[in-house]
Structure 1
Amino acid sequence: MTSDQATRRRETGHFVRWAKKQKLTSLDFPATRWGGPSGTIDTEARWGQARRLLHDDALAPEDRVAGLLVLLYAQWPSTISRLTLDHVHVDDEQVRLSLGREPVILPEPLDDLVRHLPARRRGHAAIGDHATSPWLFPGGQPGRPISSFRLAERLRDLGIHSGQARSTALFQLATDLPAAVLARMLGIHITVAVAWQRASSGDWTTYAAEASRRNNT
Structure 2
Amino acid sequence: MTDPDFSYRDETGHFIRWSVQHRHAHGLTCGAVRWTGPQGTIDSEKRWADAWRLLNDNALPTADRVAGLLLILYAQKISAVSQLTVDDVDITGETVGITFGTSPVILPTPLAALVRELVATRHGKAKIGTPDNVPWLFPGGQPGRPLSDSQPGIRLHKIGIRPQQDRSTALFTLAAELPAAILARMLGIHIQVAVQWQKASAGDWAAYAADVSRRNSWPDPSGSGT
User: Which range, TM-score by smaller chain?
Assistant: 0.7 to 0.9
Matched to 1:163, the amino acid is Q
Q: Please name the residue that 1:199 is paired with.
A: 200
Equivalent pair of 2:82/2:149 in contact (CA under 8 Å): yes
Residue 80 of structure 2 corresponds to residue 87 of structure 1? no
Give 5+ residue unaligned stretches, structure 1: 1-10, 22-27
- Which residues in structure 2 correspond to 1:175-186 (within 5 Å)? 175-186=176-187
What is the letter of the counterpart of residue 109 of structure 1? P
- Flag as ranges the 4+ runs of structure 1 deviating above 4 A: 206-209
Give 3-state SS (helix, strand or coil) of 1:109's partner.
helix
CA contact (8 A) 2:101 2:189 kept: yes
- Deviation per CA, 1:133-174: give whole Å up to 9, x if none: 100000111110011111110011111121111100001111
Tell me by how many angstroms 1:34 deviates: 2.1
Contact 1:125 1:145 in 2 (8 A): no
Q: What is aligned with 1:31?
A: 32
Q: How does 1:8-157 map to 2 (within 5 A)?
A: 14=9, 30-157=31-158
Give CA deviations for 1:105-153 in whole Å, capped at 9, x if unaligned.
Answer: 0002000100121222131353235110100000111110011111110
Determine if contact 1:61/1:120 at 8 Å carries over to the other structure. no
Q: Which residue of 1 aligns with 2:21?
A: none
TM-score, normalised relative to structure 1 = 0.81
What is the alpha-carbon distance in structure 1 between the residues aligned to residue 67 and residue 123 of structure 2? Answer: 13
Identity in percent: 57
The one-letter code matched in structure 2 to 1:186 is L
Structure 2: 5+ residue stretches without partners: 1-5, 17-28, 216-226
Paired positions, count: 194
1:100, 1:183 within 8 Å by CA — same for their partners in 2?
yes
Query: What are the Cα deviations for residues 22-67 of structure 1, in whole angstroms up to 9, with x where unaligned?
Result: xxxxxx8722222233431000000000000001111000000000
Secondary structure of 1:146 counterpart: coil
Give the 3-state SS of the residue equivalent to 1:151 in structure 2. helix
Q: Distance in 2 between matches of 1:145 and 1:125?
A: 11
Residue pair 1:171, 1:200 contacting (<8 A) in 2 also: yes
Q: Are the counterparts in 1 of residues 43 and 169 from structure 2 also a CA contact under 8 Å?
A: yes
What RMSD over aligned residues (CA atoms) do the two structures have, in Å? Answer: 2.7
What secondary structure does 2:97 align onto?
Answer: strand
CA–CA distance in structure 2, aligned partners of residues 83 and 57 of structure 1: 23
Output the amino acid matched with 2:48: W
